[in-house]
Amino acid sequence: MGDNIQTSAEAAEAAALPRQHQVHCDPDTPAPETSPVPRAIADTATAQKSAAQWAYERIILYLKNFEEQLDAEHEVAMGFTGGDAGVLRIEGMGYFDPDIVTFYGTDGAGGRTQLVQHVSQLNVMLRALPKPTEKAQARRIGFRLVEDIENEA
């Protein structure tokens, strides 16, 4: 037990704020763990969210962050783990309480790769793939999902 005394407001605020952490080979690598959480997500305490809602919201943050790092010729895709998902050279790793772990890196062909995983085995692999040549602009689902959450608030 420590000497840290909190008011009830401070305790409530601390309970509502998710703990976050990540480390990369390149310390300037952008990551959702170090980015501000949108108000629409932060306004509801994590204890008031279902595991599904909380995982959904954080995956949206990872999608948006991943897309922010893509050029106009690439889009985000999801690889399925447990099958022929390829190889991930781990170049960074982070967590997002209460239950998400993420791995950052590149695949065998040098493509940026990121794995976001719930500690109880949820597997999501985000991959940068060349956009189809017939598309004028790359589509950005992460940005649209954040906009959707903000419009609900």
For the chain, the domains span 20-152
Instruction: Give the whole-angstrom CA distance, residue 26 versus residue 102.
Output: 16
What local confidence, expressed as pLDDT, does residue 80 receive?
57
Q: Ranked by mean pLDDT, which of 1-5, 54-58, 88-92, 140-144 comes out on top?
A: 54-58
**Residue 73 phi/psi, 5° resolution?**
-95, 0
pTM of the predicted structure, to 2 decimals: 0.61
What local confidence, expressed as pLDDT, does residue 1 receive?
47
pLDDT band at 145; cut points 50, 70, 90: confident
pLDDT of 47 > 70? The answer is yes
What local confidence, expressed as pLDDT, does residue 17 receive?
58
- Which of the 8 DSSP states describes residue 148? H
* Residue linked to tokens 């998710």: 18
pLDDT band at 101; cut points 50, 70, 90: confident
Give the pLDDT confidence of 130-139 residue by residue, as tens digits.
Answer: 776 766 777 6
Instruction: Give the whole-angstrom CA distance, residue 133 versus residue 101.
Output: 34
pLDDT band at 12; cut points 50, 70, 90: low
